[in-house]
Amino acid sequence: MLAGCSLPGLTGTSQNTVEIGSLTQSESEIMAQMLSIMIERETDAQTDLVTKLGSSIVQHQGMERGDIDISSTRYTGTDIAGALNMDPIKDPEKALQTVKHEFQNRFNQTWAETYGFENSYSIAVTQEFAEENNIETISDLEPYAEDLRFGVDNAWVNREGDGYEGFQETYFKFGDVYPMNLGLVYQAAATGNMDVVLAYSTDGRIKEFDLKVLEDDQQFFPPYDASPVINNETLEKYPEIKEITMRLGNEISTEEMQELNYRADVERVNPRKVAKQFLEKNNYFKDTGKGGD
């Protein structure tokens, strides 16, 4: 459907402009803003943001057409199944090395180091339930599972591979399963309408509703480590971008990203401000002696 079509928001690109694509999630725009701020400070390039792209596949198609120079967030598990059409890889380091190798060879793109966080499927309960029953891992839920109400994303119930059917084969079956809009599951757990929910590990609503993400002790869910992906032509023109992504590599934990998402989604702080404040707090402007915009 997208063949031959430009992405929304693009009206043609300047030779000195780097186009950065981001997804609909706040974390993707926050990371796009971090890249934008650092690129404009440390190179001769200007940046444009192409925001609220619907999926990693849309980002990938945009990069293949040359509409986008950088994808701000791409996830190992998503692109192994999507852009690469490969079977899931459960080992995080092997998954990262696979996407790095395949994107370089197939697409002439550099999959940079992970930022340090992953936005993966997770199982969450209230802090109160976890403390009362000494719950730390998904397996710890098994003695209670048949009596628990499980609130899940509509799409996950019938998802192949890492959906509910596969979950039952690895872990167990819950007593009652309630498919619902993802935006409702967190509040459903906090209000007692659900006992367990499917969550995304960096979602700010985990913090908002004081939920506990359980350890996936059987490693059922594939890794979804986040990295930027850059067209190699862009790196040839602006080699400083490689160093910028290296400085951001492994610097943001899943818990820190959850906090940044909380600020954007719950406290309604502008993503660019969230990005700039993170960079300032962590001394990314220390060497240049310049202030951000």
Question: Out of 54-63, 65-74, 140-149, which region has the weakest mean confidence (pLDDT)?
Answer: 54-63
Tell me the average pLDDT across 27-47. 96
CA 88/CA 161 separation, integer angstroms: 8
Confidence of residue 286 (pLDDT cuts 50, 70, 90): low
Same domain assignment for residues 140 and 207? yes
Q: How many domains does the chain have?
A: 2
**Domain match, 102 and 242 both:** yes
Residue 218: inside a domain, yes or no?
Answer: no
Instruction: Say whether both 141 and 255 belong to one domain.
Output: no
- The answer to the question of residue 32 being in a domain is yes
23 and 113 both lie in a single domain: yes
The domain of 96 spans: 17-118+223-281
The residue out of 170, 189, 213 marking a domain boundary is: 213
Residue 5 pLDDT exceeds 90 = no
pLDDT at position 79, please? 93
**If we measure between CA atoms, which residue out of 254, 247, 255 comes closest to residue 279?**
247
The per-residue pLDDT for 285 is 79
pLDDT in tens, 39-64: 999 999 999 999 999 888 899 999 99
pLDDT at position 153 is: 85
| Residue 109 domain flag | yes
Residue 183 pLDDT level (bands cut at 50, 70, 90): confident
Angle at CA of residue 104, ends 67 and 119, nearest 5° = 75
